[in-house]
Structure 1
Amino acid sequence: MNILILGSGGREHTFAHQLSKSDNCDKLFVAPGNAGTAKIATNVALSVTDFEAVKQLVLKENIEMMVVGPEDPLVQGIVDFFNRDEELKKVAVVGPSKRGALLEGSKERAKEFMGMYKIPTAAYESFKAESLAAGKEFLTTLKPPYVLKADGLAAGKGVLILDSLEEAQKELENMLTNNKFGAAGNTVVIEEFLDGIELSVFVLTDGKDYKILPTAKDYKRIGEGDKGLNTGGMGAISPVPFADKDFMKKVEERIVKPTINGLKAEDIDYKGFVFIGLIKVGEEPYVIEYNVRMGDPETEVVLPRIESDLVEVFQKVAAGALNEVELEVKKEAAATLVLVSGGYPEAYEKGKVISGLENIEDSIVFHAGTAEKDGKVVTSGGRVLAITSFGEDYKEAIKKSYQNADKLHFDKMYFRKDIGFDL
């Protein structure tokens, strides 16, 4: 079958890498893609939120399956767009409907959903500009640090964790009245800080049944020791050593099952991924947030560990027959290291020539912010490459990724040297 992947990052290159292995994949398209996807698929320059352009591509290339990588098109309703269109509704789409995508599109909706289905999460209140004074007062009832979340999509950067009450009150005002995060911050969720260690649990569902994918842990801060500004992710490992059987049983019973049952109870069309951002407090799991797609860079360690034919798995998801699937997972651990442009996550330069890609051994390099220019691969984003390796455990895997990072170069290249430090 002909398959389209929407997106341009490391997540989408990983999907392309896994799907291209399948005998069921005839032609593979990635829109817009990057220099890495260009090697194994056909890149098509279009915006992932230009639904009409996506439709024309699907019809022109006789595409039978579409995998939606990023959250924007899902929150804007691309699945509903396909389901409503007589020419498109036969296409198997991996991704939830607009109603389902609200779990990521609105932090407030996610918190209400968790409350309704008794899913453990931090206590919270939400505020708008007109209730700014009440929000500032609510902050005084909490212990530091203070957690402020923009309600809408803010490219993974809409969460502030602040130690000072004065600073928290000032930032709340910035978000609600000075448009710090634009429309995404029209509503702000303030929640209690949970002290623990974070991990990600990914669930694939057809809306009725589910499969829990390998666990992962990513490293969001730019600086070593998890210091500095939040990024889209500087590295990841899978599986997570502290997520043992007893803990994962709690996660399944208290979080995964009630989540899927909630989707069913509300008759939400949901055929795709639920990314559950968790925190382990003592021995107990709490939900920090939902995302409605795979995470990045977690995808780069989760998907390569899945040995099942991903096209077949996605066909079952689309057909509502996920209960017929047995997922095969590599026993080996995986680790990925993200190489970023100097200055990221703030201002950075593009167009830097990347050298050394041909020297990589025993690792997979997934492209994120790359492009081709005059026959050379150049940087075109903040997060540029992710080097994924396998090993007996995450330590052996990340060691291989570091060895290969030393073979790569672009001007002002930066990476963290402590992925897995807290384990």
Structure 2
Amino acid sequence: MNILILGSGGREHALAWKLAQSPEAKQIFIAPGNAGTALTGTNVPINPTDFEALKTFVIEKEVEMVVVGPEIPLINGISDFFKQDKLLHDIRVVGPGSKGAQLEGSKDFAKHFMKKYGIPTAAYATFTAETVKEGEKFLETLHPPYVLKADGPAAGKGVLILDNLDAAKTELQNMLLKAKFGKASGKVVIEEYLNGIELSVFILTDGKDYLLLPEAKDYKRIGMGDTGPNTGGMGSVSPVPFANEIFMQKVKEQIIEPTLQGLQEENIPYTGFIFFGLMNVNDNPYVIEYNCRMGDPEAESVIPRIKNDLLEVFDNLTQGKLSESNLEIDERYAASVMLVSEGYPGKYQTGKVIKGLDNLNNCIVYYAGTSRDVEHDQMKTSGGRVLAITAFGDTLKEALQNAYSNVEQINFEGKYYRQDLGFDLQ
């Protein structure tokens, strides 16, 4: 089978790495990919939102399956585009249509959906530029910290958590009146702050049945001890020690199953990943957010733990036969540490030579913001999040030690990483 993966991050490298292990995988293409995906497939210089260019390519290369990594093509309707095109409708797409992708594409839609179907989440209200004064008054009714979320997609950076009321009012104005996050903050959801510990839960669903993937915990903030601004993710660990059988049963009964029931009642077909960003509040799960795709950097610790042929699972998923698949999971812990460019998530420099990749042992390297300088045969940085180093261990501590010992072997100018992953779990 010829497969096209859309995206260019560590998640897409993890998907390409895993799918390449399938005996049924003939050719794997990644659009646009990165220096790591080029090691497991063929990179294609096409923007994942250029649907017409993708159409031409998949017809030319006889692609049979498209796996969508990032959220924007899904929100923009790539699955619908394929289904509605007479030349493309038989190509299998791993990813929901635009209606299903609204779970991530609009925080307001997601909160309405959760409220309607009794899915536990924080109290909230939504505001626009016209109602910014009402938003400020609503903030006054809450206790700090104050949670402000851009309604639309903002690459994981559209959430602000502020301890000061005046600062929260100022940021509300910045989001609504000064487009701090562009179109994404045309609406802002203000939420009650939930005090607990986060985790990420993932399923694959064909709209009827679902497979529960390993859970993970990611670390979003740039600084040690979860301080500083949000990033796209500084690393992840899987499994999560507190997500025991009792807790996960609550997740299934109170969150996953009502979500699937709600999609069915709203007549929203769904084929792909659903990511549940959860908060554990006194051993009870609450939904912070939905994503319509696999998480990143969670993919880099979750996908290595899946023993199955993932292409076979995707094949059943896209044919509505997901019930025929059973996941086999590696019981060991996986820890994934993200190396980023100095200055990220703000301004940073690229083009820095990466050294030490030949010195690694007993780990998996997933490439993100990287490019290969063919002329000088060098790997260089090309983005904020550069590499994810994933290692296994029989305990969380051992997995982290194995990952960090390899991280220390890699060097590039301005290398930065969180040195405290798992600090809240041990």
- Cα RMSD over matched residues? 0.6
Q: Distance in 2 between matches of 1:58 and 1:288?
A: 36
- Which aligned pairs between 1:45-194 and structure 2 lie closer than 5 A? 45-194=45-194
Residue 32 of structure 2 corresponds to which residue in structure 1?
A: 32
Residue 381 of structure 1 corresponds to which residue in structure 2?
A: 383
Superposition TM-score, scaled by structure 1 size: 0.99
Residue 223 of structure 1 corresponds to which residue in structure 2?
A: 223
User: 2:416 is matched with which residue: 394, 414, 422?
Assistant: 414
Cα deviations by residue, 1:203-255 (Å, 9 ceiling, x for unpaired): 11001100110010000111111111111111100000010100000000000
Shift of residue 77 of structure 1?
0.2
Residue 360 of structure 1 corresponds to which residue in structure 2?
A: 360
Shift of residue 272 of structure 1?
0.2
Instruction: Kindly provide the amino acid, as one letter, of the partner of residue 355 in structure 1.
Output: K
Shift of residue 166 of structure 1?
0.8
SS of aligned partner of 1:236: strand
Shift of residue 389 of structure 1?
0.5
Unaligned runs of at least 5 residues, structure 2: none
Cα deviations by residue, 1:155-192 (Å, 9 ceiling, x for unpaired): 11100001111111111111111111111111000010
Superposition TM-score, scaled by structure 2 size: 0.99
Q: Distance in 1 between matches of 2:409 and 2:166?
A: 46
Shift of residue 57 of structure 1?
1.0
Q: Distance in 2 between matches of 1:346 and 1:128?
A: 26
Q: Distance in 1 between matches of 2:151 and 2:293?
A: 17
SS of aligned partner of 2:52: helix
Q: Distance in 2 between matches of 1:267 and 1:308?
A: 31
Shift of residue 383 of structure 1?
0.3
Instruction: Kindly provide the amino acid, as one letter, of the partner of residue 316 in structure 2.
Output: K
Q: Distance in 2 between matches of 1:133 and 1:414?
A: 40
Residue 260 of structure 2 corresponds to which residue in structure 1?
A: 260
Shift of residue 90 of structure 1?
0.7
Cα deviations by residue, 1:243-296 (Å, 9 ceiling, x for unpaired): 010000000000000001111111212100000000000011000000000110
Instruction: Kindly provide the amino acid, as one letter, of the partner of residue 74 in structure 2.
Output: L
- Which aligned pairs between 1:296-315 and structure 2 lie closer than 5 A? 296-315=296-315
Cα deviations by residue, 1:321-363 (Å, 9 ceiling, x for unpaired): 1011111111111000000001111110000011111111100
SS of aligned partner of 1:215: coil
Ranges of 4+ aligned residues in structure 1 off by more than 6 Å: none
Q: Distance in 2 between matches of 1:186 and 1:229?
A: 21
Instruction: Kindly provide the amino acid, as one letter, of the partner of residue 156 in structure 1.
Output: G
Q: Distance in 1 between matches of 2:32 and 2:225?
A: 34
Q: Distance in 2 between matches of 1:136 and 1:90?
A: 50
Q: Distance in 2 between matches of 1:342 and 1:355?
A: 16
Q: Distance in 1 between matches of 2:346 and 2:138?
A: 31
Q: Distance in 2 between matches of 1:251 and 1:116?
A: 17
SS of aligned partner of 2:88: coil
- Which aligned pairs between 1:330-409 and structure 2 lie closer than 5 A? 330-373=330-373, 374=375, 375-409=377-411
Instruction: Kindly provide the amino acid, as one letter, of the partner of residue 136 in structure 1.
Output: E
Q: Distance in 2 between matches of 1:222 and 1:176?
A: 25
Shift of residue 31 of structure 1?
0.5
SS of aligned partner of 1:250: helix
SS of aligned partner of 1:62: coil
Instruction: Kindly provide the amino acid, as one letter, of the partner of residue 199 in structure 1.
Output: L
Q: Distance in 1 between matches of 2:180 and 2:387?
A: 29
Q: Distance in 2 between matches of 1:87 and 1:307?
A: 34
SS of aligned partner of 2:260: helix
SS of aligned partner of 1:270: coil
Q: Distance in 2 between matches of 1:288 and 1:397?
A: 27
Q: Distance in 2 between matches of 1:342 and 1:176?
A: 30
Unaligned runs of at least 5 residues, structure 1: none
Instruction: Kindly provide the amino acid, as one letter, of the partner of residue 421 in structure 2.
Output: I
Residue 270 of structure 2 corresponds to residue 270 of structure 1: yes
Cα deviations by residue, 1:117-161 (Å, 9 ceiling, x for unpaired): 100000000001111111111111111110000000111110000
Q: Distance in 2 between matches of 1:168 and 1:192?
A: 13
SS of aligned partner of 1:381: coil
Q: Distance in 1 between matches of 2:87 and 2:315?
A: 19
SS of aligned partner of 1:55: helix
Q: Distance in 2 between matches of 1:192 and 1:237?
A: 27
Q: Distance in 2 between matches of 1:417 and 1:169?
A: 33
SS of aligned partner of 1:278: strand
Instruction: Give the % identical residues.
Output: 59
SS of aligned partner of 1:190: strand
SS of aligned partner of 1:31: strand
Shift of residue 376 of structure 1?
1.2
Cα deviations by residue, 1:392-413 (Å, 9 ceiling, x for unpaired): 0221111111111111111110
